[in-house]
């Protein structure tokens, strides 16, 4: 199967999956009066039940090829860990700029720490999202090149967050998507990327929420610590970026990958659906 056709099906599959969910969460849920718990359950079923089933049906015809597991250095894993803080720092800067421009603040990932929120952020979301955006996409697209898979995975993962969490989150989750896609492309280790995803949620959401409930002083100290980690990560990346090799070249993806992704009809359709629902959410 051609690369173009495979990407078409993958992008349309994810677009259909989230389109089904957004139809309910953005349009239908506001028209019905049901308890919040029931609304949440219906939303999860529409996304990870019906939506995921449609996604997997659409990509079923695309031949799968698993990534062979390989080991990478502990230094690389540590750098990826620190770069997650760099992504958080960039998000904070974008939110501040957005606020200065008169835009409303972006919502937190959680409203309060609870067993449900801990389960969703540390277990359910990391496992399901890495399965959808890393494993399934890698099974179908990795054979066309590491850089191609990394770019597709990061882009598809990031743009959906524009609907649920706002535009600054697209940049933030794109960076995280690059990190996790790179790790998965190099190791084929699903548990590793799930763990990194959960760790990011823990330090970026749960710890902030927990400390803010204790004192602003502790929250400030923690923010400084995250900033230090972010700067260290950015510096180490700048120093070692030429050592990061994808498809035998010192980059994450090349011009050919960018052209193949952003001239694809499926990606355009997926992006259009996402933009439509971003606008609809603002209107509704």
Is residue 5 domain-shared with residue 106, that is, in the same domain? no
Q: How confident is the model over 164-214, as pLDDT tens digits?
A: 888 889 999 999 999 999 999 999 999 999 999 999 999 999 999 999 889
CA distance 240 to 232: 12
Series of mean pLDDT values for 10-residue runs along the chain (284 residues) = 92 97 93 90 95 97 88 93 96 85 52 83 96 96 96 97 89 96 96 97 92 90 95 95 87 92 96 95 85
Q: What is the pTM of this model?
A: 0.92
Residue 2 falls inside a structural domain: yes
Residue 107 sits in which domain range? 65-253
Is residue 58 domain-shared with residue 163, that is, in the same domain? no
Q: Are 124 and 108 in contact (CB under 8 A)?
A: no
From 245, 273, 1, select the one nearest 159 (Cα to Cα): 273
Is residue 32 domain-shared with residue 91, that is, in the same domain? no
Confidence (pLDDT) at 70: 83
CA distance 179 to 193: 9
Is residue 144 domain-shared with residue 19, that is, in the same domain? no
Is residue 112 domain-shared with residue 248, that is, in the same domain? yes
Is residue 88 domain-shared with residue 173, that is, in the same domain? yes
């Amino acid at each position: 199967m051609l690369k173009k056709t495979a990407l078409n099906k993958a992008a349309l599959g994810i677009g259909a999956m989230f389109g089904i969910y957004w139809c309910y969460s953005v349009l239908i849920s506001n028209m019905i009066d049901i308890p919040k718990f029931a609304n949440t359950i219906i939303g999860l079923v529409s996304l990870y039940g019906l939506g995921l089933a449609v996604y997997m049906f659409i990509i079923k015809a695309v031949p799968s090829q698993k990534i062979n597991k390989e080991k990478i250095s502990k230094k690389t894993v540590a750098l990826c860990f620190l770069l997650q803080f760099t992504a958080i720092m960039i998000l904070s800067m974008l939110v501040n700029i957005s606020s200065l421009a008169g835009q409303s603040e972006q919502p937190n990932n959680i409203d309060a720490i609870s067993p449900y929120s801990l389960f969703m952020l540390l277990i359910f979301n990391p496992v399901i999202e890495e399965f959808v955006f890393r494993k399934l996409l890698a099974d179908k697209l990795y054979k066309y090149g590491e850089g191609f898979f990394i770019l597709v995975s990061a882009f598809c993962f990031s743009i959906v967050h524009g609907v649920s969490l706002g535009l600054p989150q697209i940049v933030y989750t794109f960076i995280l998507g690059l990190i996790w896609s790179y790790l998965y492309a190099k190791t084929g280790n699903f548990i590793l990327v799930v763990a990194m995803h959960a760790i990011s949620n823990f330090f970026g959401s749960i710890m902030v929420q927990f400390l803010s409930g204790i004192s602003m002083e502790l929250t400030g100290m923690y923010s400084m610590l995250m900033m230090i980690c972010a700067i260290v990560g950015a510096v180490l990346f700048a120093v070692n970026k030429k050592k990061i090799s994808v498809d035998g070249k010192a980059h994450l993806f090349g011009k050919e990958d960018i052209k193949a992704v952003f001239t694809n009809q499926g990606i355009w359709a997926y992006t259009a659906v996402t933009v439509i629902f971003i606008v609809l959410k603002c209107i509704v």
